[in-house]
Chains A and B, each alone.
Chain A
Amino acid sequence: MSGFPELPDGRLEQKLADKAPLFTHGEAVTEANRCIYCADAPCVEACPTGIDIPTFIHKIATDNVRGSARTIFAQNLLGASCAQVCPVEVLCAGSCVYETWGRQAIQIGRLQRYATTAGLEKDPALLSRNAKPKTGKKVACIGAGPASLAAAGQLALDGHSVTIFEKRDVPGGLNTTGVAPYKLFAEGALREVEFILGLGDITLETGAEIDDAAAKKLLDDYDAVFVGIGLGPDSMLGFEGEGVVGATALIERLKLDASLTLEGVETALVVGGGNTAVDIAHELALLGVPHVSMIYRKTEAVMTGYAHEMATARKDGVRLIEHRSPLAIEREGEKLVGLRTQCMDGEGEEVFAGDMVIMAVGQSRLTGLARAFDGVALDDKGRVVVDEATCRTGHAKVYAGGDCVNGGKEVVNAAQHGKLAAAAISASFGAQ
């Protein structure tokens, strides 16, 4: 282990089962042989990092599993976690020719998980072996989430020295603290962090929050800076007190904090209609909370949570209540007993009984930090403004990517930003 703390036993996420377990060799080869090996494949176009999917799948079929892993990592160093957390139903697999043809799409995510796992098992030094010689250049990454990790990994392979500053005790960003456990356990996320750290000269400093002053100083000590700080704490819409929690804060605890218990929680009310809302509702249902309802102010048709995630959450007992907007917490004494809501499809109010209210209505921005660098601009939504092709900000040595730039998308988008930024940073060094 590279110095980050062992996860304690007894965490709630350990009670959940892996939704799409690792394929065996036989399963992987059988599925790989189903792939048509399309030319100009639509699945590639649908991957935000442009992984050459037909080729990596073909290489599974030919038992060239290291080659398969290389093909994946060539476009996406976080190919292992993406294999598990990507919403493939709306990305690669959603555009697979089988899907449009009315047949079951190729299970690209599971094949990718197999290839990255088996490839690295066969040769842990698969990529690091071909790292470029040291250049003497130094890059700092703020945040140890997917965006920074993708950037750091590529920069290290290009021969640069990288230091990652992470304010938490555990690295990995939301891959470790946020993603639904049945997709990726915290352990899996940390394993990927170790893989990235092993790619070259990368130092990880945890518990190292960068403030404005520290940020400014980074420019003196490093040749370039990458900002991958993600989003901030949950928006609470002013609700607070005992029994009210933010969704990402709760998920972080059920993934990492062995002291969290859900005993006594009979009814959980999740406010929101996005993927975070669907995730936490689904997780609570799977963890045995008897009644879990999502309270959403619009209709299912327009909610941003994915239909396929909502469908499986429902199967596991989650209820969706449409057209209700939260007004106030109902309490008896200190104790939370329900949520008063405004009916959006008519007049009046409705109170839902419950003993826990979870706010999943978005996250605040941390991007004030980025302004510490001269020339870095934020848009009206608080997102760091970057050049699309290079992820360079208004400051020539400062790059940014991931959620702090796109306002909150997927891990794979963060990985793509990290990759683009690393390429641009290496190119800028070469040009000097």
Chain B
Amino acid sequence: MADLSIEFCGVKSPNPFWLASAPPTNTGAQIKRAFDAGWGGAVWKTLGNPIINTSSRFGAVNYGSTRMMGLNNIELITDRPLEVNLREMEDVKKHYADHVVVASLMVDTKEEWHEIVKKVQDAGADMLELNFGCPHGMCERGMGSAVGAEPEVLKTIVGWVMEVAKVPVIIKLTPNVGDITVPALAALEAGADAVSLINTVKSIVGVDLDRMIPYPVVGDASSNGGYCGPAVKPIALHMLGQVARVFPKPISGIGGISNWRDAAEFMVLGATSVQVCTAVMHYGYRIVEDMIEGLNDFLDDKGMASAMDLVGKAVPQYKEWGQLDMNYHVVADIDPAKCIGCQLCVVSCMDGSHQCIHIPGMDDDEKKRRGHVVFPTDVPDIAATAEGAKAGARVPWVHEEECVGCNLCQLVCPVEGTISMREKRKAPESISWNERVMNGTDVVPGGLDATRKARGLDAE
């Protein structure tokens, strides 16, 4: 049994699993149920000045048979009175002293910031999270992502908060910026204790083509919203990795986390805690049981005693493209005992890659008609022997010399484990593009000027 507890800015949490500031943390009663289910912490639905929310407010992207692969919302901050939230926060902390309660805040003026910070501290909040990320509605009022995208404004507001903050302050970052490290470093400079990311990505999820109104429909119009859920996980992981390389303080990872494996991935890319919204909105608080159990087993497998050991483990391996080994090479291998003969790999390689997967039994004319440009003479005719294969189905054959090792066929193959990528190095020694540029073997993509600069031939 590994120790799942973490320490985030000196605050202990029974596990790294927190609820993100969103509908699942709307009320004290919800948060208590979530803690009972096993969540280690909760970031309260953002508190601020009174607002009202629209109806409807969510839209989704369904992909294939998967519903809500991505979720979009135009909801603002809490629509419940501040005093009610504060009372409930105090009550939650009274009953769940060991769990982490983070107050998410978003107000406008310096006075308002001072006042609300003091109020939530009095209510017992363990930490503050400044919502500089909401990409709809609030930013039009000069708050939310309008702050996150302006480093100077961000620093000013963080400064105000730090004047009165007695508990650690987390800055929640918006992904709707060109370079995520800019607001992260601005927050650091202004004295923030941590960052969390990502908030939602500006989005329109679709359009009602009969009424010509984007989703979600509000009367006879709509507005852009914020995108989240499994669809944004890759974006979040990238931004997390970028921040982790330069930000020396704790990071809370958010965006598309649905299970223990997602959580582990965020942690190894630099997150100390992870926050979840969409997966809970879809399936309920109950998902945390699998997250706790799965992470525990995973840590045991890796011989790690504590969840903290995971934090940042993959960051050093996240490199710039120019640092990658150009002599590393893989080729596709197809297992005739598993292939069902659907030929999806063939079409994907023909039209989407390098025309190097062949169907056995074709003469050169046929191959030419199909679009092959290289004509190997010795395509072996192998029968598909998998139970699920149609009688007589042939296993496609990878022309290894032509295979660029892109992974595409493996990605499209419907039968897991049928196509594997076998290592076949170009040369034993490693060499990166940057090194080749330095050696004079290559030019920097983008031109001669950049190349000369990289080789140090031109002064800046």
| Shortest Cβ gap from A67 to chain B (Å) | 4
Q: Does chain A have a CB within 8 A of B166?
A: no
Contacts of A70 in B (CB 8 A): 293
Q: What are the residues of chain A within 8 A of B284 when measuring CB–CB?
A: 39
A62 is contacted by which of B65, B286, B290, B415 (Cβ under 8 Å)?
B290
Residues of chain A within 8 A of B294, CB atoms compared? 59, 62-64, 67
Cα of A58 to Cα of B289 in the assembled complex, Å: 11
Q: How far apart sit A25 and B416, CA to CA, in the bound complex (Å)? A: 8
**B416 & A24 in contact (Cβ 8 Å cutoff):** yes
Q: Is the CB of B260 within 8 A of A64?
A: yes
Chain A proximity mask over B258-301: 1 for CB below 8 Å, otherwise 0: 11110000000000000000000001101101100110010000
Q: Please tell me if the beta carbons of A37 and B65 are within 8 angstroms of each other in the complex.
A: no
Contact call B293/A64, Cβ cutoff below 8 A: yes
Q: Does A66 belong to the interface (CB within 8 Å)? A: yes
CB–CB A62/B416 < 8 A: no
* Interface status of B234 (Cβ within 8 A of chain A): no
The answer, yes or no, to whether B417 is at the interface (CB within 8 Å) is yes
- A55 contacts B by Cβ under 8 Å: yes
State whether the Cβ of A34 lies closer than 8 Å to any Cβ in chain B.
yes
Please provide the chain A residues from 1 to 52 with a CB less than 8 Å away from any CB of chain B in the complex. Answer: 24-26, 29, 33-34, 37, 39
Q: Which of B403-432 contact A (CB under 8 A)?
A: 415-417
Structural contact, B261 and A63, CB atoms closer than 8 A:
yes
With A and B bound together, what is the CA distance between A58 and B258 in angstroms? 11
The one of A33, A34, A67 in contact with B290, judged by C-beta atoms closer than 8 angstroms, is A67
Q: Quick check: A55 and B283 within 8 Å, CB to CB?
A: no
Given contacts A62-B294, A64-B293, A67-B297, contact A24 B283 (CB under 8 A): no
Q: B416 touching A26 by the CB < 8 A rule? A: yes
Shortest Cβ distance from residue A245 to the other chain B in the assembled complex, whole angstroms = 35
CB pair A66 B297 closer than 8 Å: yes
* Assembled-state Cα–Cα distance A338/B283 (Å): 61
A39 contact set on B, CB distance < 8 A: 284, 286
Q: How far is the CA of A62 from the CA of B265 in the complex (A)?
A: 13
Name the one of A24, A26, A34, A62 contacting B259, with C-beta atoms under 8 angstroms. Answer: A62
Bound form: Cα–Cα A66–B290 in Å: 10
What CA separation (Å) do A238 and B260 show in the bound complex? Answer: 63
Cα(A82)–Cα(B293), bound, Å: 24
B417 touching A62 by the CB < 8 A rule? no
Whether A55 pairs with B417 at a CB distance below 8 angstroms is no
- Name the B residues within 8 Å of A25 (CB-CB): 416-417
* Chain B residues, CB < 8 A from A34: 65
A58 contacts B290, CB within 8 Å? yes
| Min distance, Cβ B23 to any Cβ of chain A, angstroms | 17
Q: Is the CB of B416 within 8 A of A55?
A: no
Q: How far is the CA of A228 from the CA of B353 in the complex (A)?
A: 64
Residues on the A chain within 8 Å of B417, using CB:
24-26
Residues of B close to A29: CB separation below 8 A = 416
CB–CB A62/B260 < 8 A: yes
Closest chain-A Cβ to B288's Cβ sits at a distance in Å of 12
Q: Which residue of chain A is the closest to B287 with respect to CB atoms? A: A58
Expressed in whole angstroms, the Cα–Cα distance for A25 and B417 within the complex equals 9
A24 to B387, CA, bound (A): 12
Write out the residue numbers on chain A whose beta carbons fall within 8 Å of the beta carbon of B290. 55, 58-59, 62, 64, 67
A66 vs B259: C-alpha distance when bound (angstroms) = 15
Chain B: CB-nearest residue to A68 = B290
**B286: which A residues are within 8 A, CB to CB?**
39, 55
Please measure, in the bound complex, the distance between the C-alpha atom of A37 and the C-alpha atom of B280, giving whole angstroms.
12
Distance, CA A29 to CA B65, complexed state (A) = 14
B446 to chain A, nearest CB (A): 41
Among A24, A62, A70, max chain B CB count under 10 A is at: A62
Q: Are B297 and A55 in contact (CB under 8 A)?
A: no
A67 engages B283 (CB within 8 Å): no
Q: How far is the CA of A70 from the CA of B297 in the complex (A)?
A: 12
| Distance to closest chain B CB from A277 (angstroms) | 31
CA distance A407 to B286 in the complex (A): 38
Name the CB-closest residue of A to B295: A64
Closest chain-A Cβ to B68's Cβ sits at a distance in Å of: 12
User: Which of chain A's residues has its CB closest to B297's CB?
Assistant: A66
A24 and B286 alpha carbons, distance in the complex (Å) = 27
Residues in chain A near residue B415, CB distance under 8 A:
26
Q: Report how far A34 CA is from B297 CA in the complex, Å.
A: 25
Interface centre among A24, A33, A55, A67 (most CB of B within 10 A): A67
A-chain residues with CB within 8 Å of residue B261 when the two chains form the complex:
62-63
Residues of A within 8 A of B260 (CB): 62, 64
| Interfacial chain A residues near B416, Cβ < 8 Å | 24-26, 29
Complexed CA–CA distance, A33 and B66 (Å): 9
CB distance from A132 to the nearest CB of B (A): 16
A377 to B286, CA, bound (A): 44
Q: Which residues of chain A are within 8 angstroms of B289 by Cβ–Cβ distance?
A: 55
Rounded to whole angstroms, the CA-CA distance of A62 and B298 in the bound complex is 12
Are A64 and B297 in contact (CB-based, < 8 A)?
yes
Docked pose: A25 CA to B415 CA in angstroms: 10
Cα separation A55 to B38 with both chains bound (whole Å): 15
Within 8 A of B (CB), among A44-94: 55, 58-59, 62-64, 66-67, 70
Q: How far is the CA of A37 from the CA of B284 in the complex (A)?
A: 10
| Pair A37/B283 contact, Cβ less than 8 Å | yes
Specify which chain B residues have a CB less than 8 angstroms from the CB of A24 in the assembled complex: 416-417
Which residues of B in the span 280-329 have a Cβ within 8 Å of any Cβ on A? 283-284, 286-287, 289-290, 293-294, 297
Closest to B286 in A: A55
Residues of B contacting A58 in the complex (Cβ-Cβ under 8 angstroms): 283, 287, 290
> B17 to nearest A CB, angstroms?
14
Residue numbers in A under 8 Å from B65 (CB-CB): 34
A379 → B minimal CB distance (Å): 41
Q: How far is the CB of B387 from chain A (nearest CB, A)?
A: 8
CB distance from A79 to the nearest CB of B (A): 17
Nearest A-chain residue to B301, judged by Cβ? A122
In the complex, chain A residues whose CB is within 8 Å of the CB of B287: 58
Complex-state Cα separation, A62 to B416, whole angstroms:
15
Name the residue of chain B whose CB is nearest to the CB of A67: B293
Complex CA gap A66/B283 in Å reads: 21
Cα distance, A67 to B417, chains bound together (Å): 23
Inter-chain CA distance A34–B66, complex, in Å, is 9
Q: Which A residue sits closest to B418, measured CB to CB?
A: A26
Residues of chain A with a CB closer than 8 A to B297's CB? 64, 66-67
For A63, the chain B residues whose CB sits under 8 A away are: 261, 294
Distance (whole angstroms) from the CB of B225 to the closest CB of chain A: 25
CB distance from A84 to the nearest CB of B (A): 18
A37 to B289, CA, bound (A): 14
> In the complex, which residues of chain A have a beta carbon less than 8 angstroms from the beta carbon of B258?
62
Closest to B416 in A: A26
Nearest-Cβ distance from residue B415 to partner chain A, whole angstroms: 6
Q: What's the Cα separation between A59 and B261 when bound, in Å?
A: 11
Closest to A28 in B: B416
Residue among A29, A39, A58 having the largest count of chain B Cβ atoms under 10 Å: A58
Q: Give me 12 other A-B pairs in contact (C-beta within 8 A), A34-B65, A39-B284, A58-B290 excluded.
A: A24-B417, A26-B415, A37-B283, A39-B286, A58-B283, A59-B293, A59-B294, A62-B258, A64-B293, A66-B297, A67-B297, A70-B293
8 CB contacts below 8 A, A to B, read A39-B284, A58-B283, A62-B290, A62-B294, A63-B294, A64-B293, A64-B297, A67-B294
What 9 pairs between A and B have smallest CB-CB spacing? A26-B416, A64-B294, A62-B259, A67-B293, A59-B290, A66-B297, A64-B290, A62-B290, A37-B283
Q: Taking beta carbons and an 8 Å cutoff, which residues of A are in contact with B?
A: 24-26, 29, 33-34, 37, 39, 55, 58-59, 62-64, 66-67, 70
